[in-house]
Amino acid sequence: MPRVPKQTLPQVSPSEESIGQRLARFRKMRGFTQRQLADQIGIVQNLVSDYENGKLRLYDEMVARFAATLKVSADDILGLVKDDTDAAQISLRFLKRLAVIETFPEAQKKRILRNLDDAIDSHAKVQTSAAEPL
């Protein structure tokens, strides 16, 4: 069993994100709850929470288990490589919702797509105005 860290060490990677935060981000991106991830790996949910919150340090076997289950590299979890592909990947949670929407009647799908288009346009306007110099 890994030990609880006694001191806070400086970040190894240039990222502001801790290993636990990256772990939580990858878990959410794949659509897992902590309990589901724990079941897949073969540990209890409390350990996943402790790893994500930095209460426990990951050791080599756990990094490998998390990486295999979350379908990312150990380097991604450890923050040793800049992960530019995250922005392009669609989360499993989002894909599950899209699959449900796909079963809706055509008129309802069109309404949802109009709402999405409105939200995207609104977001793009906010982004554009925020980027403009004053």
53-72 tens-digit pLDDT:
999 999 999 999 999 999 99
**Region class of 4: left (phi > 0), else alpha (psi between -120 and 50), else beta:** beta
Q: How far apart are CA 40 and CA 68, in angstroms?
A: 10
23 shares a domain with 73: yes
Residue pair 38/45 in contact (Cβ under 8 Å)? The answer is yes
Number of domains into which the chain is organized: 2
Does residue 128 register a pLDDT over 90? Answer: no
96 shares a domain with 73: no
Q: What is the CATH number of the domain that holds 41?
A: 1.10.260.40
Residue % of the chain over a pLDDT of 70: 81
* Alpha-helical segments (H) within the chain: 19-29, 34-41, 45-52, 60-70, 74-78, 92-102, 106-131
Domain that includes residue 63, residue range: 19-84
Query: Could you report the per-residue pLDDT of 34-59, keeping only the tens digit for each?
Result: 999 999 999 999 999 999 999 999 99
9 within a domain of the structure (yes/no): no
38 shares a domain with 60: yes
Residue owning tokens 């772990």: 23
7 within a domain of the structure (yes/no): no
98 shares a domain with 125: yes
Does residue 86 register a pLDDT over 60? Answer: no
**Region class of 79: left (phi > 0), else alpha (psi between -120 and 50), else beta:** left
8 within a domain of the structure (yes/no): no
Residue pair 51/62 in contact (Cβ under 8 Å)? The answer is yes
Does residue 84 register a pLDDT over 70? Answer: no
66 shares a domain with 26: yes
End residue of a domain, out of 84, 100, 115: 84
23 within a domain of the structure (yes/no): yes
Tokens of 31: 């659509």
Which residues lie below 8 Å from residue 17, measured CB to CB, with a gap of 6+? 25, 79
106 shares a domain with 51: no
What would the mean pLDDT of 12-31 be, rounded to a whole number?
84
State the pLDDT at residue 133. 62
Does residue 1 register a pLDDT over 80? Answer: no
Neighbours of 70 (CB within 10 A): 21
Amino acid at 53: N
State the pLDDT at residue 83. 55
